Amino acid sequence: MQQILVLNSGSSSLKFQLFSMPEENVLCSGLIERIGSEDAKFKYKTNGETIKVVTPILNHRIALELLSKQLLDPETGTIKSPEDIDVVAHRVVHGGKEFSETIEITKSVKEKIKDLSSLAPLHNPANLEGIIVAESIFKNAKQVAVFDTAFHQTIPEHVYKYALPNKYSDKIRLYGFHGTSHKYVSEKALCLLGKKESKIITIHLGNGCSMSAIKNGVCIDHSLGFSPNAGLIMGTRSGDLDPTIIFYLAEKFNLTLNDLNTLLQKESGMLGLTGHGDLREIEALANQGDKACQLAIKMNTYRIKKYIGSYTAILNGLDAIVFTAGIGENSTVMRELICEDLDFLGIKLDILKNNERLKTVREINDENSKVKVFVIPTNEELEIAKETFDLIKE
C-alpha cells in the first residue's frame, strides 16, 4: 500500500487529496484558497466530516505546512507525519513537447518546468513553487510530476502544427490541456462501450473548456492549442477568434500587449458577453428574459456543436460523446442545447434522463440514439494518483 498525496498548486489556491493506492481510497482531501490574503480559507474533509479553517495563509509554504498537520488517517484517527507520505504527485499544467508521460521530479525536470513558464505564465510558476515547498516538507517522499499536456502528445503533426514559417514550429504548436480529465473520462467511456475500437468526443466544460477527439483510446485532436485560450467560449476567455482582431484592438483602442492579454484571458468569454462569470447566474437571467445572457448561451453552445461536427468528421464516425467537469456534469440546459438538432449525427438526448440531478456516471441518450451520450464526473486527482502509482510500482 502506498500513501500518495496529490497536489494541485495554483497561483492563489492549493487543492489536495491523500490516496491509499492501489485501493484508490481517499483518506482526506481539501482546498486552501485565497492564499496571500487575510481571509484565506482552508476547507478540509476527512471521514465524511468537513472542517473549515479561516486563518491568514500568506504563501504556499504556510499552506503546505498547515496541510501537512491535517493529514488524518480515518482508520486510526491519528495525524500522519509528513514522513509517512510515500509520494507527492504534482499536477503541472504545461509540459511542452518535452514531457509525454508522468515522471519523477529531478533538478533538470524543475528547470524545464521553469523554462516552460512562458507558455503557461499563470500556472507553471505556481506548480513549480508547490514542488519546491513540498520537497522541503515531505522530505522522504518521491516527488512526481503529471502533465496536463501529456495526453495530447499523440496528436499527429499535421494537426498540431500551425501554418507559420517552419523556423517557428519548434516552439509554436498545439499542445492541448485538461489532459488528465480527458484521459480519465475517456477511459471510463471505453469501459461503458465495452470495446477498444471506438470514436469518442470528450467535452470538458468548466470555467476553462475544451474538447478532445479520441480514437481507440488515443487523442487525435483537441480544441485548446498553443495556450489555454483557444477553441470554445469559456468563463473569461474568448476562445477562437480571427487573429487580425488583436491588431485592430491595439491600433483602434491603443491597447498594449498586456492589455490585450488581460482582455482575452480575464475579461472576455461569458463574463465579457454578460457581465457575469458564473453560468448558473447567466442561465437564471436568461430564463428571466435577459437578451445578453440568452445570446451568450446560444453562442457558447453553437461553438461546441461546430466542434462536435468537425470531430465527427475527422473520426469518420462517432460512438459516444462525454460531458464532464462542473458545467458539463451539472448544467442540464447546456447539455440539452448542445445535443439539440444533431439527429443527422445519430445523437438524440433523453430529456428526462438529462434532467435527473445525479452525481454519478450515467447514460442520458434516448434508447433510439445511435450515439451514446454519457455524463461522467471527472476525477483528475484520482487519475494523477493512478498514473503516479503505475510509475513507482515499476
Give the pLDDT score at 123: 81
User: How many angstroms separate the CA atoms of 254 and 260, rounded?
Assistant: 10
Give the pLDDT score at 126: 84
Q: Give the DSSP letter string of 129-174.
A: HHHHHHHHHSTTSEEEEEETTGGGGGS-HHHHB-SS-GGGTTT-B-
Distance of alpha carbon 316 from its chain centroid, rounded?
26
Give the pLDDT score at 302: 97
Q: pTM higher than 0.75, yes or no?
A: yes
Q: Which residues of the chain have pLDDT under 50?
A: none
Give the pLDDT score at 74: 58
Give the pLDDT score at 365: 96
Give the pLDDT score at 359: 86
In this structure, what C-alpha cell is assigned to residue 24? 484508490
For the CA atoms of 222, 226, 230, 231, what is the dihedral angle to 10 degrees?
-20
Q: Give the DSSP letter string of 379-392.
A: -HHHHHHHHHHHHH
Residues 6+ apart with CB under 8 A from 189: 198, 200, 202, 320, 322, 372, 374, 376
Q: Which domains does the chain have, with CATH numbers?
A: 2-147 (3.30.420.40), 195-375 (3.30.420.40)
Residue 152 class from Cβ within 10 Å (0-12 exposed, 13-18 middle, 19+ buried)? Answer: buried
Residue 197 class from Cβ within 10 Å (0-12 exposed, 13-18 middle, 19+ buried)? Answer: exposed
Catalytic residues: 148
Residue 349 class from Cβ within 10 Å (0-12 exposed, 13-18 middle, 19+ buried)? Answer: buried
Residue 279 class from Cβ within 10 Å (0-12 exposed, 13-18 middle, 19+ buried)? Answer: buried
Amino acid type, 41: K
In this structure, what C-alpha cell is assigned to residue 342? 444533431
Angle (deg, nearest 10), helices 244-253 and 257-266: 120
User: How many angstroms separate the CA atoms of 336 and 7, rounded?
Assistant: 34
Give the pLDDT score at 12: 73
* Cα 224 to Cα 134, 186, 187, 188, distances in angstroms: 30, 17, 20, 22
- N residues, the chain: 394
| Sequence-ordered alpha helix ranges (H) in the chain | 60-68, 107-115, 124-137, 157-160, 179-193, 244-253, 257-266, 269-274, 279-287, 291-315, 325-330, 332-339, 351-354, 380-392
Residues 6+ apart with CB under 8 A from 13: 31, 32, 33, 34, 35
Amino acid type, 109: V
Phi, psi of 156 (to 5 degrees): -70, 160
